[in-house]
Amino acid sequence: MSQMNRRRALQLLAALGTTGLVAGCGTDADDSEAVPERNPIKIGLVAPENGAGKAVGQEITNGFELYLALNDQHLGGHPVTLEKRDEGDTAKSGQAAVNGLLKEGVLALTGVANPAVMSGIRDIVEQAKVPLVGSNASPVSLQSVVYIWRTSYVLDEPGRALGEYLKERMAPGSRVTVIAPESSASLDVVQGFRQAFGTDDPRIADETVWTTAKPNPGDSDFAPYIRQALNRDPDALVCNFAGPAAIQFIRQLRRGRPAYQGPLYAPGFLTEGNVLNEVRSLLVDDNDNLLPGTIHTVSNYSADLNNSANRVFASAYRKTYNSSPTTYAMASYDAAQVLDKALRVAGPNPTPQQVNLALGKIGQIDSPRGVWQFNQPRTPQQKWYLRSVQLNGRLLSNVVINEVATLG
């Protein structure tokens, strides 16, 4: 970062109580070369502002804005105006948001929470030749793109990471049952899980129990599907839910008669954001002890990762927003970092096409998740972690157990 930006970042970090830590916003090479003040630019951020995706959209916005705050509202020496648009909850509403930002003359785009929206805006972005650094899940079908980069993951990867882990963990003769909403995102996750575990492995021979896919399910919507899954007498359940659906699934799983007390495995978004707060009474007894039934998730990030970039990011995030950061916020923070690096490479008066070329030259990212870099399909090559829901004092948290895979 420039000397001006570095001074501002350290002032902010001191105010946040993180004095002495080096801002994880760039490499040593970046810090040794001051970037002169450059022309102002506009960056367009697309994220849901209402509905079931609102919480994820807020995390995406928070992550990007935090990076800007720690860098004096600059990226690559350019003062930044962040133009925000509501993604909505359909491909059509996402397309309208992107078209509106393109008319505003943005140099680059970021955000996008819904994988269906990402697919729906593909052609618009590619034809406009304006780079999009997406910061949430990407569908497997999104391939052969030139202007779309993602700092999160491809949707089959959390399933693959979980499948690789459970394949070695589950004993011979055991049974794993998969339950998930019938959506394109879940199809990608479940396919990744089954392929990594082994499609012919008898331990996962049962058909997936597909539930209805509702953004805001009711108090009993999952009950018949849960009974169907538990009637198979599984040794472990694998699921794929997020947000309000995750809250309802855990509630109905734990309130069933009998309540399921076996191990539950899932991609990390099962327990991201406010989910654990909403289901605390079902996971912890009156004496603040965890009830039977462990919840394990795999994710590319956990707020307790012990590296310098994450100590800065997680501390600043907690002090700024009064909550722990999620993978959604982290990926958006990294999207800002990626654009910062690319804009340094692109020169003082870059075009969108020059920024896109520069994105392919930025190398490794010193991220709160750990070091990663873009692979050929423009997604991260990164580590995946196994986490367990545990009590940290009275607070329920996702705690890293170990690394389980490197994918990408």
Burial of 322: CB neighbours in 10 Å, binned 0-12, 13-18, 19+: exposed
Please tell me what DSSP assigns to residue 124: H
Q: Are residues 77 and 343 in contact, defined by beta-carbon separation less than 8 angstroms? A: yes
| Mean pLDDT calculated for residue range 201-206 | 96
Phi/psi of residue 259, nearest 5 degrees: -70, 140
Rg (CA), the chain: 21
pLDDT tens digits along 220-249: 999 999 999 999 999 999 999 999 999 999
Place of tokens 């079908």: 141
> Distances in Å between the alpha carbon of 399 and those of 64, 155, 308, 387?
24, 22, 18, 5
Domain extents in the chain = 3-153+304-374, 156-299+386-407
Structure token pair of residue 398: 């996702």
Name the fold adopted by 3-153+304-374.
Rossmann fold (3.40.50)
Q: How high is the pLDDT of residue 13?
A: 54
**Strand-pair category, 41-47 with 373-374:** unpaired
Residue in this structure with the two tokens 């399910």, named with its chain if needed: 217
pLDDT tens across 9-52, in order?
Answer: 555 555 555 443 444 444 333 444 667 889 999 999 999 999 98
Confidence grade of residue 259 (pLDDT, cut at 50, 70, 90): confident
Res 270: pLDDT: 97
Surface-to-core class of residue 259, CB atoms within 10 Å of its CB (0-12 exposed, 13-18 middle, 19+ buried): middle
Per the model's pLDDT, the better-predicted residue between 16 and 89 turns out to be 89
Tokens of 128: 């406009």
Cβ contacts of 297 within 8 Å, gap of 6 or more: 265, 266, 267, 268, 270, 271, 386, 387, 389, 398
What is the band of 387 on the pLDDT scale with cuts at 50, 70, 90?
very high
From 24-28, 37-41, 159-163, 311-315, the region with the lowest mean pLDDT: 24-28
Q: In the CATH scheme, what architecture does the domain 156-299+386-407 have? A: 3-Layer(aba) Sandwich (3.40)
**How high is the mean pLDDT of the chain?**
92
Please count the residues of the chain. 408
In terms of Cβ atoms closer than 10 Å to its own Cβ (0-12, 13-18, 19+), residue 292 is exposed
In three-state secondary structure terms, 402 is strand
The answer to whether 3-153+304-374 and 156-299+386-407 have equal CATH topology is yes
pLDDT of amino acid 29:
38
